[in-house]
Structure 1
Amino acid sequence: MASPFQEEYTVSIDKQTLKPTVTSSSLLLPEHYNEVLAIRLAMLNTGQSVALDYYQQLTYQALNETHKYTEQMEKQGKVNASKRNLLRFIGRSMNIKNSVVDNLYILDDPGIVWDDPELDRINKGLKDTFDIQLRFRDLDFKLRIIQDNLKLFTDLLQHRESARLEWIIIILILIEVVNMFWREVL
């Protein structure tokens, strides 16, 4: 069983700290600071970091599966997968991308930082600490690669289906010609 995704980040109140300080492992707050909002920001950014870890793993798995199909194309000149399996893979990959968009608000700052420059500074410091923007861009890049591959796979599916229908039409025409020839002979 896979280990759960988790991350630890400490928020503490320090009497000697004059203003909130973001470090790689903790957020230090002055004694008389509104810690509830700062804790919310720390929780939001920690949660986004853990969610990014989760989506990075899903994306890595999808990239591996994409690699498997592209390697088949390279070696065999075709993809040995049923239409159903390819469609399931396409659906799974699309769900990853949709889920990232639905669940992560990386590009939007929370409303509590809009009117408070100190909270905005904390939020930016936390995003930098967790490399939120960089990791999101990396995830987005990988999802675009998968999306490009999905387009190729759907084109292959359409081509395979079209070729199958063309053969069916050719066979039906041939049957009709043989049938007409047979009627003329008899």
Structure 2
Amino acid sequence: MRKVKFYGAISLDGYLADQNNSLNWLFKYEDKNIMEKSYQPFIKDIDTTIMGRQTYDDLMSMTNEFPYSDMTNYVLTHRSIDSNEVISINTPIERLISKLKIQSGKDIWIIGGGKIVSTLIENHLIDSLQIQITPDILGNGVKLFTKMNSHSEFKLINSQRYDQFIDLYYELKGPTA
């Protein structure tokens, strides 16, 4: 069965993006080591991405070409997207994940976060979290985790330092009461 994985960087205080939904604070780091030893091994096992509309719009504001055109890409949105690169879908994330997990293929990458990641955690539908923590304190912005009404426990599998980043890899232990 396919695995559902989150991979992404956050500030020391837990933000994915700043208060303007910008990732500019993150682009000051140019660590080839983390790309070669963390991102490249991660991405080789991925053939599907899922992101929200805000993440998609933010991504497209930073580039002229969609960076994952060799994959199947879903964008959760109420509005259609005029692109051959993505499938715009207005389905609850739980239903989409349940359908995709039983299909053949490589693993599924959850890009972005907040509501999507938290919903998947609450429903025990995310298998792993690989989080790179930077030394930045943003104070405000888009949090990786939103308020959740249930408890989930993850097990630390690996941690690695790459210059100013700490790369943490966790796997879901299973539902807890």
Q: Which has the higher strand share?
A: 2
Q: Does the TM-score normalized on the shorter chain lie above 0.5? A: no
TM-score category (smaller protein)? under 0.3
Larger radius of gyration: 1
TM-score normalised to structure 1 length: 0.20
